[in-house]
Amino acid sequence: MKKNILFALVILAAAGALALWGAGRGAGAQAVVSVAGAETQRIPLSRDGTYSIEGAPFPVTLEVRDGAIRFVDSQCPDHICENFGWLSKEHDQAVCAPAGVVVSVEE
């Protein structure tokens, strides 16, 4: 449990650094997806769809609809990330700690 919390904090810190780095790019609202602290995808929130995240220890699926994104499915043991709901505002963030996946919204 203590290791999971520490891992989640490291992932959140890395995602925060990525969010600061990418701020002001002017690409419109997008979701930045990181796996194990490394950015793997940028998903425009203007394009509805379902996205499978590669490279995570557990399969993770994200859904984009009406300018928002959410974890729709994760094969991790606890599925907590599926209960975060929709992310649509800048700096909104959700984490699937067992899979090491962080989703952050940027403008």
Which residue bears the tokens 């650094």?
A: 17
Domain boundaries, the chain: 2-106
Buried b (16+ CB within 10 A) or exposed e, 36-67: bbebebebebeeeeebebeebeeebebebeeb
Q: Which residues pair with 65 in a beta bridge?
A: 68
pLDDT tens per residue across span 35-88:
999 999 999 999 999 999 989 999 999 999 999 999 999 998 889 999 999 999
CATH 3.20.20.70 matches 2-106: no
Q: What is the band of 24 on the pLDDT scale with cuts at 50, 70, 90?
A: very low
**Rounded-to-integer distance, Cα 35 and Cα 98, Å:** 11
Q: Which residues pair with 41 in a beta bridge?
A: 33
